Chains A and B, each alone.
Chain A
Amino acid sequence: MTGYVLRRALQAAAVLLAITAAAFGLFYAAPSDPALIACGPKCDTGQVEAVRHSMGLDQPLAGQYADYLRGLVAGRVIDDVDGTPIDCAAPCLGYSYTLHQPVLDAIGDRFPVTLSLAGGALAVIVVLGVGVGFAAALRRGTATDRLLSGFTLVGASVQIYFLGYALQYLLVYTTDLFPVPGYTPFGDGPGAWAAGLLLPWLVLGFVNAAVFARLARSQMLETMHEGYVRTARGKGMSALRAHLKYTGRGAAAPLAQLLGLEAGALFGGAFITETVFGLGGVGKLAVDAVVQNDLPTVVGTVLLAAFFVVLFVALADLVVAWLDPRVRLA
């Protein structure tokens, strides 16, 4: 197992390094001039040049990339547009000339929102997805199965920006059945924190749980007919025990992998959900950065999202390896 973990960690690191290079390249491939944006439309050529110099954009590309990587590992000092030196501690993701703060600080300010939203939504996905999928599989062909499958089809095909707005209109503004969505820090009171996030959790959870439930159902059905499950049943094990002990474990591997991907995507920022419910998380930060041409923040949030995907996919692989020893040898 240790060898497998090491191999997997090395792979993850290599993927992340490749992503930093790609994201950094994006910074330059973009058809906009970061110095011009930072300086503003009324700057003359001389001023733009001065800003370009203070941003280090007149250095060779390889050197700038090396600086960026060094900053990630050891931190560095970056000059603001007016030449003020800014200490950007490791892991330094760059400095936003729009927000006038290190990108990591901007992300740190908003991460609690994303963490709260993603954590709750994941719980909804697991409970709803696994519950519905397993229930439908166990009652295959019955009315319950058809009802639940229809339900998941709705979830899989509806968009958050439709469901989110529609439910807010119906459940919050016209009937007052749900509290107004918003973010209150957990420290200010768990009740208010959960109340404000309840509807976003349910909507984000429901939409993502649908795919999960459909996969859970088909995996269950497939595994149910594996020889080892039939053997267990043939030896007199009760249906429930057999399904929990063998079918469940057998079906869990692909589900863990899908969950890893989902978690990675959610922790990187749920752009649409945050926008629909007015939550200021990392997704909103990324959207704002794109709109404002704030490239250091765009690159920073892209890296963060990639980091979480790589991290959670790697974690999912470890879980799968633990569930299924055959994987470790591959």
Chain B
Amino acid sequence: MPRFRTRTAALPALATAAVMLLCSCSAGAGEGDAAKGKGAGGAPKSGQRLTVTLGTAEDSKGPAPEVRGAREGGTIKIANLKDYSHLDPQKIYAGEGYSTSLLWGRQLTQYQVVDGKPKLVGDLATDTGRSSDGGRTWTYTLKDGVAWEDGQPITSEHVKYGIERTFAPGFELGPTYWPEWLTGSEDRTAAVKKYGGPKDGHLDAIETPDAKTLVFRFPKPQSDVPYMAAQSSSSPVREDKDTGTGYDTRPFATGPYKIVEHKQNQSLTLERNPHWKAETDPIRHQYAERFEFTFGKKILNTAQEVLNGRGDGADTVTTKSEVPPELYAEAQRDAKKKDLLVAGSQGAYTNDLYIKNSRVTDPEVRKAIHYLFPREQARQVLGGPRVGDFATTLSSPAVVGWKKYDLYPVKPTGDIEKAKEHLARAKNKPESLTYAYETESPQDDRLAQVLVDAFAKAGIKLVTKPLEPAAFTSEVFRGDAPYDLWISTNSVDWPTPSTLLPDSYHSKLDALANGIRYANPAVDKELERIADIGDARQKADALIDLEQVVMKDVPVVPFLYTGVTQFRGENIGGAAIHPIYGSIAAAGLYLKKS
């Protein structure tokens, strides 16, 4: 529904982000070829503004800007611990999946990355979309020469069919925006009562006057359609190739590569798609001949092979995992290994301490928590500065319209005296609070201990409740869950403020969306007013202004703008963290020799 949570990546991801980021000198000097290539013009600091811009029709033309030094040929190996739980474009719903699926899938729009900066451009479409009628109508025209892996042209019908699939049973896991927007419904459940997917025939809200034109008609103004058009769910699907659940393991390709074999939880093999034309594609490259994904090997093993150049290590990257903490320090000492680290900002992700407002009702108590929170010590436990810069805002600096603010300034080590003052003012000071956390690695327990100590200094007993990762979401995100605090990493669905406050801070939302049970009638009213704004700029500004109103109530404590540190083999060129998707962008990789 709202922001996608990285369940598996949440804390371990944080554990291993980027000391490299600290030293901007290493960004240019230490990164070797990656820094010289496109998309890696220095690893951006995680707190840096990376606001996406909207490209023109001219920007949307192919081919993609060359990656400097790139050459063709060879097989790139991608070793990830886990296989993709979904390859069906209408079911993919996470940053790394979005990024890697660009190898074989294309959407209406997509992010072009030049020198580490993202620009939204037309992908299958000639531009990012043209709106009329105050944002109720959006028109897209498909490019000439875009084709499927069997050579047949991609038509507007195929894009329409793909989007119609998001209404069908079995597609509950994907983003819900298309069903909600196209039917003017509050949520997906209401939307699918009006239209239940391709089995109900054609969806009237999308018109295809000819094979190249798509006209979306929304009951309410929509300002963020160009961004939604870049989501994986805006990929075309051909009805005669729709194999139902089978499509989830082997989709039909439109991108530079096609899937030739997928053995689940074992391997995924891609070969060049001869019908993909570089001149139609402003984002992707086709440097390597093949991509071979393998799944199941422990990241510690993979990282040792890659950093020591053993076996296939030199030709290997991972896109899902970060450098294991065990190897990070060693890689910092050894210049050759340090050169193989690939660090950057993790898209628009932030890591925050969430407070359940329906349980911790007194704003003075929440302010006290804001002051006593030991940011410095907590970050140290998670891996130090490499895991991200300290945050003072709810939204990430990567979000369009972001403004820096710091409503309740506090030093990184926390301010116990200030916390005690606020507690003294509180009407009902709690004796104890409960902190829930996922037990994925030993550092989660250490982080809990750091919090227990800080709360104790302010006179509050913090009860810790470790939960199995698989159970965390269902345990914590329900209305009556008995937990007051938790830390988690989240992102907006795309880099505008539209999916942050509206999808998590309206009091009418369920506990899965509004997990902290934030409820402020004035904010509700303002959100309802903003929902009807059709102009993207106005809407973003209004939401950013509202964010400060929300944060006055201290519903959450901002902690980090998260960073990531991944690794690449010595022979891999073009490796850089995608500024929107927050992992190594596979579509820009090449082999230095093969």
Contacts and interface: CB of A to CB of B under 8 A. Distances in A.
A182 interface: yes
Contact of B244 (A44, A80, A106, A174): A80
Contact of A280 (B244, B295, B311): B295
A109 B310 contact: no
A50 interface: yes
B170 interface: yes
B341 to A, nearest CB: 17
A278 B297 contact: yes
Contacts of B263: 109
A84 B245 contact: yes
Given A81-B170, A180-B312, A278-B296, A109 B266 contact: yes
A64 B248 CA distance: 28
Interface string B520-551: 00000000000000000000000000000000
Interface in B297-314: 297-298, 300-302, 304-305, 308, 310-313
B327 to A, nearest CB: 10
A179 B308 contact: no
A180 B307 CA distance: 13
A180 B311 contact: yes
Interface string A16-42: 000000000000000000000001111
B132 interface: no
A195 to B, nearest CB: 10
A55 B189 CA distance: 23
Contacts of B305: 173, 180
Interface string A255-279: 0000000000000000000011111
A275 B189 contact: no
Given A180-B305, A280-B265, A284-B265, A80 B311 contact: no
Interface string A123-140: 000000000000000000
Interface in A78-120: 80-82, 84, 99-101, 106, 109-110
A176 to B, nearest CB: 6
A74 interface: no
A172 interface: yes
B173 interface: yes
Chain B interface mostly helix, strand, loop or mixed? Answer: mixed
B512 to A, nearest CB: 8
B265 A100 contact: no
A277 B473 CA distance: 31
Nearest to B477: A41
Contacts of A176: 310
A152 interface: no
A42 B267 CA distance: 28
Contact of B265 (A47, A80, A168, A285): A285
B264 interface: yes
A188 to B, nearest CB: 13
Given A82-B245, A172-B310, A173-B304, A99 B172 contact: no
Interface in B243-281: 244-246, 248-249, 263-267
Interface string B161-189: 00000000110110000000000000011
A61 interface: no
A100 B246 contact: yes
B474 A41 contact: yes
Given A43-B172, A278-B296, A99 B301 contact: no
A226 interface: no
Nearest to A172: B310
A288 interface: yes
A278 B299 CA distance: 10
A228 interface: no
A174 B265 contact: no
B296 A169 contact: no
Contacts of B313: 180
Contact of A174 (B170, B308, B311, B473): B308
A96 to B, nearest CB: 9
Interface string B416-450: 00000000000000000000000000000000000
A82 B169 contact: yes
Nearest to A276: B298
Contacts of A278: 296-298, 301-302
Contacts of B473: 41
B173 A42 contact: yes
Interface string B1-24: 100000000000000000000000
B472 to A, nearest CB: 12
A41 B301 CA distance: 33
Contact of B301 (A40, A168, A280): A168
Contacts of B246: 84, 100
A176 B304 CA distance: 12
B249 A100 contact: yes
A82 B264 CA distance: 19
B265 A99 contact: yes
A169 B300 CA distance: 10
Contacts of A169: 304
A280 B173 contact: no
B301 A100 contact: no
Nearest to B301: A278
A44 B189 contact: yes
Nearest to A289: B265
Given A43-B172, A82-B170, A101 B297 contact: no
A40 B169 contact: no
Contacts of B267: 280
Given A47-B169, A101-B264, A278-B301, A179 B311 contact: yes
A16 B316 CA distance: 44
A50 B266 contact: no
Interface string B313-324: 100000000000
Contact of B172 (A40, A106, A174, A288): A40
A174 B173 CA distance: 43
A110 B296 CA distance: 12
B580 to A, nearest CB: 24
A42 B244 contact: no
Most A C-beta atoms less than 10 A away, residue of B248, B264, B304: B264
Nearest to B168: A82
Nearest to B305: A180
Nearest to B176: A42
B84 to A, nearest CB: 12
A109 B83 CA distance: 15
B129 to A, nearest CB: 28
A280 B266 contact: yes
Interface string B442-461: 00000000000000000000
B429 to A, nearest CB: 37
A80 B310 CA distance: 42
Contacts of B244: 80, 82, 84
Nearest to B247: A100
A204 to B, nearest CB: 16
Interface in B182-214: 188-189
Given A42-B172, A81-B170, A280-B295, A99 B264 contact: yes
B296 A284 contact: yes
Interface string B211-246: 000000000000000000000000000000000111
A81 B245 contact: yes
A5 to B, nearest CB: 38
B172 A47 contact: yes
A42 B176 CA distance: 11
Contacts of B304: 168-169, 172-173
A172 to B, nearest CB: 6
Given A165-B300, A173-B305, A180-B312, 10 more contacts: A39-B170, A40-B172, A80-B245, A82-B169, A84-B244, A100-B245, A168-B304, A173-B310, A278-B302, A285-B265
24 contacts: A40-B172, A41-B474, A42-B172, A42-B173, A44-B189, A81-B170, A81-B245, A82-B169, A84-B244, A99-B264, A100-B249, A100-B264, A109-B266, A110-B266, A169-B304, A172-B310, A173-B304, A180-B310, A180-B311, A278-B301, A280-B265, A280-B266, A280-B296, A284-B265
Q: Lowest 4 A-B CB distances belong to which pairs?
A: A180-B311, A278-B297, A42-B172, A173-B304
